[in-house]
Amino acid sequence: MNSGKINKKIIGAGTFAAIAASLCCIAPLLALFAGVAGLASAFDWIEPLRPYLIGLTVLTLGFAWRQILTPKKEIECECETDEKKSFLQTKSFLAIVTVFAVLALSFPYYNSYLFANGNKTEIVSQTELTSVNLKIEGMTCEGCEVSVANYAENAGAVEVTSNHETGLAAIKFDERKTNVDSIVHSIGLLGYKVNVIENDGKENSLSNKN
């Protein structure tokens, strides 16, 4: 098996691992722009595997770079002298793949900037707003928080503050424009399990009426 074939398989494995490592954060972006209900939480099971996938990406691409940069022995070069390498076997292609992998792995750190919220809600007095606290299961990153905010605002919410680490969201809305059920239903379209937290701290599972 020649080195070109080995490189292709290793590069493919590294690229796949890089994409998979950030799939749980890429999904909310796709759900928001593609309107695919339930997609945001479909890959949250990958989050615990993220450190291992990052390690696999670094190891495979590191090995590919070592393989392509290591000078070949004269006897190896003789058999490939007349062979023209395809672009997929060049340093340029490996460099492109490496940059792509870095961007994919770092996606959770900049993805919130991609969720530009174009929804504008009417400014009302704070005294006219009703507050509700939600428990949202399935958020894994800041992108999930922004996605939740967008879907809640699509349902008429005025203010949304959420935290993926605690799974809690505080939402304010104007009862003349919307209601809790509508907001919960909208967030539920992302695929998250949403429960309303009552004043006594208990969760009310009236949610997720998809």
Q: Give the range among 36-50, 92-106, 134-148, 174-188 with minimum mean pLDDT.
A: 36-50
User: pLDDT band at residue 134, thresholds of 50, 70 and 90?
Assistant: very high
Distance CA 31, CA 18 (A): 20
Distance CA 198, CA 5 (A): 59
123 and 92 in one domain?
no
108 and 25 in one domain?
yes
DSSP structure string for 66-97: HHHHSPPPHHHHHHHTTPPPPGGGSHHHHHHH
210: in domain: no
150 and 78 in one domain?
no
209: in domain: no
CA distances to 80, 136, 204 from 141, in Å: 48, 13, 24
105 and 128 in one domain?
no
Q: What is residue 200's predicted lDDT score, i.e. its pLDDT?
A: 47
The residue segments making up the domain with residue 167 are 118-204
29 and 80 in one domain?
yes
Question: Domain holding 154: CATH number?
Answer: 3.30.70.100
- Listed residue (132, 129, 130) closest to 206, CA to CA: 132
126 and 183 in one domain?
yes
Give the Cα-Cα-Cα angle 128, 132, 130 (nearest 5 degrees): 10
Number of domains in the chain: 2
pLDDT tens-digit map of 9-36: 778 888 888 777 776 666 666 665 555 5
168 and 99 in one domain?
no
pLDDT at 45 over 80: no
